[in-house]
Chain A
Amino acid sequence: MSAPTGPARLLDTTGGRDVISLDAHLERWGPLPAVGSAALLDAVELSGLRGHGGAWFPVGTKWRAVARSKRSKPVVIANGAEGEPASGKDRYLLHHSPHLVLDGASVAARALGADRVVVHVTAGAVAGIDAALAERARRRTDTCSFEVVVAPDRFLAGQEAAAVATVNGGRAGIPTFVGIRTVREHGVAGRPTLVQNVETLSHAALIARFGPQWFRTVGTEESAGTALATVTGRWDAPRIVEVPLGTTLGHALGIDAEAARGIQGVLLGGYGGGWIPTATALSMPFTEEAARSHGSSIGAGVVVLLPTGVCPLAEAARVVRYMEGEGAGQCGPCVNGLDLLATSMEHLAYRPRSLRGGVAALPTLCGLVEGRGACRHPDGVARFVRTAVDVFGDHAALHLSRGPCQTSRPFLSVPAGPVAQVR
């Protein structure tokens, strides 16, 4: 067992095995060191690890907030719901390296003094996790108890309050209004609850073994370590790539100027993320800070390279309509606003001259939904629309002057039906 020296950390697979067994896992990484709560909290904080579920919130700060809540024993949710259709990295990790995820959950439980861990995954991942948990039970690797809860196939299933609602037996995958009483204080069974993405937990499992200084040998001051990205549009099929934070996508994905000419624009952060012009997206540091400074977000590591030859506005319209259908249908501004946004994008894509107010009306519509939902779903859709209108402004002008594109083969994956996700 030794610390990985290169940028391949989570994807440092042992001998190309499909599923890494507990034996192979322990042979590669060794057992979790017997470190106490205070030392684990310090290590995670010093490492600079941030949340890879999409929010990029500092993990040390989050763990301390839950640990401080002394009312009752906390609960840890290892969140692998991954409702984003363009993301596959969490399922990849759960399938190939379940023990890295479960180690991370075990580390979090020990750091917080939690005795209960809920593994929240889609139905397809349950068998693999059950098998991994059986291996661990035979070896008695953990002191906390594990249970598996199936996440519904919904875009919002992984949202923090929605995950807690699912585990609590409420409306599965539907966010609740938490107001100022967050799930960190009042979550599963009313107990303080940590909801942490499975990739984040896997990084924590390596930090517990090799320390915060090792973790910081890759990445930038603000964004340490690596990130898993689901990359669509670079190869024939989407691939999972481990990107050292702070490097450029052009470098990490091997895209030269010639190849870049075949890319119309880059979507970062998925369907609640934002579009960035190709040259910028490929040359900026791959960090959340850089993405935000361009109006986007890395989110859960979704990278879509949109090829030339497809209509970006038709693509955007399909995504916005899908996102409208994936709303929980609870908040007035989101129910009304997303439908209007979807309709407006469909006008721009297919009947541009019937778009009332022209392209300029779209940012105003976005302003009507931003910050007005119980969750951030409308904010993500607004960001997607704002950046699409910016990045594909020339294309929109063509639609308005010459009419819509005649045909366009669909490129972005949008599940059919309101909640069924075909992957």
Chain B
Amino acid sequence: MSRARYRLVVDPIACDGAGVCAELLPEMISLDPWGFPVVHGDEVPPSLLDLARRTTVSCPRLALTLVHLDKS
């Protein structure tokens, strides 16, 4: 499980720009001028995977998901 590779995907329709993700995971997520998230990097580094997982469940709109890289 931990060896699987993941990327972060924002559902731009669900996202309302609360900005929680950029607070929790500034290593990978910044906000655009309107407060909507910009994801940096294609793959979540293994060292950030736990934090990324906690970030996805902290999104008030559940608009952020971890997706298997080989499935996309």
Contact = CB atoms under 8 A, between A and B. Distances in A.
Our verdict on whether A and B bind, yes or no, reads yes
* A interface SS class: loop
B9 A331 contact: no
Contact of A179 (B17, B32, B36, B65): B65
Contacts of A372: 12, 32, 36, 38
Contacts of B12: 177, 330-334, 372-374
B34 A180 contact: no
A368 interface: yes
Interface string B7-39: 001011111110000000000000011111010
Interface string A166-188: 00000000001101100000000
B72 interface: yes
A331 B32 CA distance: 13
Nearest to A334: B12
Given A177-B11, A177-B12, A368-B33, 15 more contacts: A179-B11, A179-B65, A331-B12, A332-B12, A332-B15, A332-B17, A332-B35, A333-B34, A334-B12, A336-B33, A336-B34, A368-B32, A372-B32, A372-B38, A374-B11
14 contacts: A180-B9, A180-B67, A180-B71, A180-B72, A330-B13, A331-B12, A332-B12, A332-B17, A333-B12, A334-B12, A336-B34, A372-B36, A372-B38, A374-B13
Contact of A176 (B13, B17, B34): B13
Interface string A320-332: 0000000000111
Most A CB contacts (10 A, CB to CB) among B35, B38, B65 go to B38
B14 A177 contact: yes
A337 B11 CA distance: 17
Contacts of A331: 12-13, 15
A199 B67 CA distance: 35
Nearest to B16: A332
Contacts of A176: 13
Interface in A101-126: none
Nearest to B71: A180
A68 to B, nearest CB: 15
Interface size class of A (residues with CB under 8 A): 10 to 19
Interface of A: 176-177, 179-180, 330-334, 336-337, 368, 372-374
A165 to B, nearest CB: 12
Given A176-B13, A374-B11, A332 B36 contact: yes
Nearest to B11: A177
Contacts of B15: 331-332
Contacts of A374: 11-13
A176 B11 CA distance: 10
B35 to A, nearest CB: 8
A65 B65 CA distance: 25
Nearest to B36: A332
Contacts of B65: 179
A373 B32 CA distance: 13
A340 B38 CA distance: 18
Given A179-B67, A180-B67, A180-B71, A333 B11 contact: no
A337 B35 CA distance: 12
A334 B34 CA distance: 11
A335 B34 CA distance: 10
Nearest to A340: B33
A177 to B, nearest CB: 5
Contacts of B11: 177, 179, 374
B13 A177 contact: yes
Contacts of B38: 372
A337 to B, nearest CB: 8
Contacts of A333: 12, 32, 34, 36
Most B CB contacts (10 A, CB to CB) among A330, A332, A373, A374 go to A332
A333 B71 CA distance: 26
A332 B17 CA distance: 7
Contact of B9 (A179, A330, A332): A179
Contacts of B16: 332
Contacts of B67: 179-180
A330 to B, nearest CB: 4
